[in-house]
Amino acid sequence: MSKKRVLRNLVVTGSSYFIFFLGFQSLSNLQSTMNSDGGVGMDSQALVYVCAMISCLLLPDLLIKKIGCKRTIVCMLLMSVPYIASNFNPSRIIIMPSSVLMGLAIGPLNSAGALYVNEMALRYHKIQPEESLDSTVSKFYGFFGFFSESTQIWGNLISYYVLSPSAAHILNHTNITCGIDFKCGGNSSNPNLEPPTEDKRFLLVSIYLLSTVTAATLMGLFTDKLDNDVGNGERSFGSATTDRLLATIKQASVPDQILLLPISIFVGIELSFYTAEFTQAYIACSW
């Protein structure tokens, strides 16, 4: 594989993940406000991440060795389409099953993306060995991370311009409290916390649905298969699952891994706080 093809694969992969997370992360940030009726939005988020934990433990190795990194990424991107589309009509009977699919897709999607970028870094280093391998891998992951992390900026900007009210609300209610004094369920008179109109919901979800399909299309048409990531298929699902669980348990006993666990737990709690309570109490309430 030439240097040009390696760099093209990196750019397309980073762009695909950027375009996909543009929709997924932005909709996740809006669940506590856009789909607040009956708590369906936050319930769906909880289900997504419960299924994601199971998915991370059981599915990545199996899928990658069966169909390869590229096909795994494309299939998982397409598997997330029902979840994005369910936000057109976020009834519990529609959004909950699609949340299961979304959660199951997260593990293989993240693992396959990381493995693909790592393989591109290794191949680039073989072509241009003047730089150390660690430096090359770090730069490739840095480039990939730049695309992934910047989705929070651009996705939220899209949400802002689509959902901005056409006319400012004049609030004279003394019983409206935001920030630290915000009470969930006690701000029904605040027009800022009303769900968006159907037209705005349709436009926003359509944009994010199109971005997800575009991401899968880019990945499917403009990247190369690795050819060395597919296993021989001799191990059964049960054997592969058992091996992965045992490896996870063994890894959890490594001192460095144990020291990382509190940070991982904190990041998870922080994420749920920012996507739910903070968004509703500090942003949507006063917007």
Give tens-digit pLDDT for 97-121: 999 999 999 999 999 999 999 999 9
- How many domains is the chain built from? 1
Average pLDDT over residues 184-188: 58
pLDDT of 174 > 60? The answer is: no
**244, pLDDT greater than 80:** no
Q: Which two tokens stand for residue 85?
A: 């589309």
- What is the average per-residue pLDDT within 41-51? 92
Task: Taking residues 125-135, report their average pLDDT.
Answer: 92
| Residue 183 belongs to some domain of the structure | no
Residue 168 has pLDDT above 60, yes or no: no
> What is the rounded distance in angstroms from the CA atom of residue 29 to the CA atom of residue 165?
18
- Domain assignment present for 263: no
- Are 105 and 79 in contact, with CB atoms under 8 Å apart? yes
Q: Is residue 279 part of a domain?
A: no
Measured in residues, the chain has a length of 287
What whole-number distance in Å separates Cα of residue 247 and Cα of residue 50? 20
Query: For residue 216, what pLDDT is reported?
Result: 97
For the segment 195-213, the average pLDDT, to the nearest whole number, is 92
Residue 164 maps to a domain: yes
Residue 14 has pLDDT above 70, yes or no: yes
| Residue 265 belongs to some domain of the structure | no
Spatial distance between the Cα atoms of 66 and 62, rounded to a whole number of angstroms: 6
> Does residue 167 sit in helix, strand or coil?
coil
pLDDT at residue 191 above 90? no
**Contact (Cβ atoms closer than 8 angstroms) between residue 203 and residue 23:** no
- The whole-number average pLDDT for the span 175-192 is 64
User: CATH number for the domain including 228?
Assistant: 1.20.1250.20
Is residue 174, in this structure, part of any structural domain at all?
no
pTM, 2 dp: 0.85
Rounded Cα gap, residues 273 and 6, in angstroms: 39
Q: Which domain holds residue 74?
A: 3-169+195-235
Residue 132 resides in a domain: yes
222: pLDDT confidence band, cut at 50, 70 and 90? very high
Mean pLDDT for all residues in the chain: 85
Contact between residue 26 and residue 156 where contact means Cβ atoms under 8 Å apart? yes
- Tell me the C-alpha distance between 281 and 287, whole Å: 10
Residue 260: inside a domain: no
Mean pLDDT of 194-203: 86
**pLDDT digit string (tens) for 256-268?**
888 988 998 888 8
227 secondary structure, DSSP code: S
CA atoms within 13 A on the CB side of 109: 27
